[in-house]
């Protein structure tokens, strides 16, 4: 049966020790082969992706080139730059892979804005480090101008910004139209560019949105049947890397909520992924979320691999 799937790709889908464009394209080529498998099976696909290393590099480049003639761009603009750059790679390479298989489909990458609330508590407690490292002297000057910086493991100081929750994907109606017309879409890269709404206008804000929460919001907005969060491991585990490590297969939402309360998942790692999965499913109990790695993507859709999260309904392999 045809499924509408939002795939949230982690940094491992792009990340490489070599930061050149060609090296990152090579990493993406392997990723798009797995995505093309789903397209070949007839599923509707929307891709979302991280941008952490790429936007970090852009911010450093902006700082190094900053001058009166070439002033550094703001964080939101840099986020849009990263969406365009990574979206271009995925758009071209996925189109090429589909053509190689004899599949004629249009692929489009969209610069996407994620609306957040100006009253989100995250704005009072910025925690997300971005950009280059600074000396203590540089950090003091920046703090005097209103920036917030923290010392980072003896390597220097880094600026931190808020990470609010997305409440709406601004371009969701257009994405819906493109899907209905049979096209493949790449959207909400890096969580989308964060904006706040002021009456009839949108305004960019200095923040970073978690890509998994943005993907969950996008999946809800376009009535996706599946949210697939791609990470570096094939399954979610409890007691990870301990002698009593336990792999999770199919799990109910109530059991997953219990595991969160028991602090089984780290805040900067698996926790936002399982929380985003729960957000997606709890808005519609007929939906399913999967957390797995890129190699297990096809098997996860076939329900043979990955951690599959479902609402609390009877299932022979469900973990309650």
Instruction: Give the C-alpha separation, 217 to 220, whole Å.
Output: 5
C-alpha Rg value of the chain to the nearest Å: 20
Catalytic residue annotation: 11-12, 128, 211, 273
Q: What is the pLDDT of residue 316?
A: 46
What residue ranges do the domains of the chain occupy?
A: 6-314
16-20, 135-139, 165-169, 308-312, range with greatest mean pLDDT: 165-169
The strand pairing partners of 228, in sequence order, are 7, 290
317 pLDDT tier (thresholds 50, 70, 90): low
Say whether pTM exceeds 0.95: no
Each residue's pLDDT tens digit, 177-228: 999 999 999 999 999 999 999 988 999 999 999 999 999 999 999 999 999 9
Torsion region of 243: left, alpha or beta (phi above 0 gives left; psi -120 to 50 gives alpha): alpha
Report how far residue 296's alpha carbon sits from residue 301's, in angstroms, rounded to the nearest whole number.
Answer: 9
**Helix-strand-coil percent breakdown of the chain, rounded to 5?**
40, 25, 35
Cβ(249)–Cβ(319) below 8 Å: yes
pLDDT of 319: 53
* Distance from C-alpha of 81 to C-alpha of 212, rounded to nearest angstrom: 20
User: What are phi and psi for residue 223, nearest 5 degrees?
Assistant: 60, 45
Judge contact between 232 and 293, C-beta under 8 A: yes
Q: pLDDT tens-digit profile of 241-300?
A: 889 999 999 999 999 999 999 999 988 789 999 999 999 998 888 999 999 999 999 999
E runs forming strands in 102-211: 107-109, 113-115, 128-134, 149-151, 157-161, 168-169, 184-186, 193-198, 201-204
* Residue 320 pLDDT: 45
Return the pLDDT at 153. 74
Question: In angstroms, rounded to a whole number, what is the distance separating the alpha carbons of residues 94 and 99?
Answer: 9
Q: How many CB atoms lie within 10 A of CB 140?
A: 12
Per the CB < 8 A criterion, the answer to whether 4 and 179 are in contact is yes
* pLDDT, averaged across the chain: 92
Out of 3.10.580.10, 3.40.1160.10, 3.30.70.20, 3.90.1150.10, select the CATH number for domain 6-314: 3.40.1160.10
Percent of the chain with pLDDT over 70: 97
Q: What is the pLDDT of residues 139-175, one digit of tens each?
A: 888 888 888 989 877 788 888 999 999 999 999 999 9
How far apart CA 212 and CA 190 sit, in angstroms, is 9
Q: Quick check: 314 pLDDT over 70? A: no
Region at 303 (left for phi over 0; alpha for psi -120 to 50; beta for the rest): left
Share of the chain above pLDDT 90, in %: 72
Q: What integer pLDDT is reported at residue 318 of this predicted model? A: 53
Angle between helices 52-65 and 75-100 (to 10 degrees): 130
Contacts of 85 (CB under 8 A, 6+ apart): 54
Contact of 71 with 31, CB cutoff 8 Å: no
DSSP 228-260: EEE-SSSSEEESTTSTT-EEE-EEEHHHHHHHH
């Amino acid at each position: 049966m045809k499924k509408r799937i939002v795939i949230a790709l982690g940094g491992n889908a792009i990340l490489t020790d070599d930061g050149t464009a060609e090296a990152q394209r090579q990493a993406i080529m392997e990723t798009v082969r797995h995505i093309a498998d789903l397209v070949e099976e007839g599923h509707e696909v929307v891709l979302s992706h991280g941008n952490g290393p790429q936007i970090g590099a852009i911010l450093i480049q902006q700082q190094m080139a900053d001058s009166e003639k070439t002033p550094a761009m703001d964080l939101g603009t840099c986020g849009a730059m990263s969406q365009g750059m990574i979206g271009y790679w995925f758009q071209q390479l996925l189109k090429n892979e589909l053509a190689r298989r004899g599949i004629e489909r249009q692929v489009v990458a969209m610069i996407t804005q994620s609306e957040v609330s100006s009253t989100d508590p995250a704005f009072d407690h910025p925690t997300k480090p971005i950009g280059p490292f600074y000396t203590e002297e540089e950090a003091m000057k920046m703090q005097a101008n209103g920036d917030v910086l923290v010392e980072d493991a003896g390597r220097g100081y880094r600026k931190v910004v808020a990470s609010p929750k997305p409440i709406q994907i601004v371009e969701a109606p257009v994405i819906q139209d493109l899907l209905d017309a049979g096209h493949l879409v790449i959207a909400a890269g890096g969580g989308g560019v964060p904006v706040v709404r002021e009456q009839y206008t949108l305004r960019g804000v200095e923040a970073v949105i978690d890509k998994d929460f943005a993907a969950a919001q996008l999946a809800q907005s376009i009535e996706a049947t599946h949210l697939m969060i791609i990470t570096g491991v094939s399954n979610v585990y409890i007691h990870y890397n301990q002698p009593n490590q336990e792999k999770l297969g199919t799990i109910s939402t109530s059991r997953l909520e219990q595991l969160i309360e028991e602090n089984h998942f780290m805040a900067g790692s698996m926790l936002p992924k399982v929380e985003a999965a729960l957000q997606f499913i709890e808005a519609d109990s007929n939906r399913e979320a999967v957390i797995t790695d890129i190699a297990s993507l096809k098997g996860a859709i076939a329900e043979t691999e990955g951690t599959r999260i479902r609402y609390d309904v009877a299932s022979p392999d469900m973990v309650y």
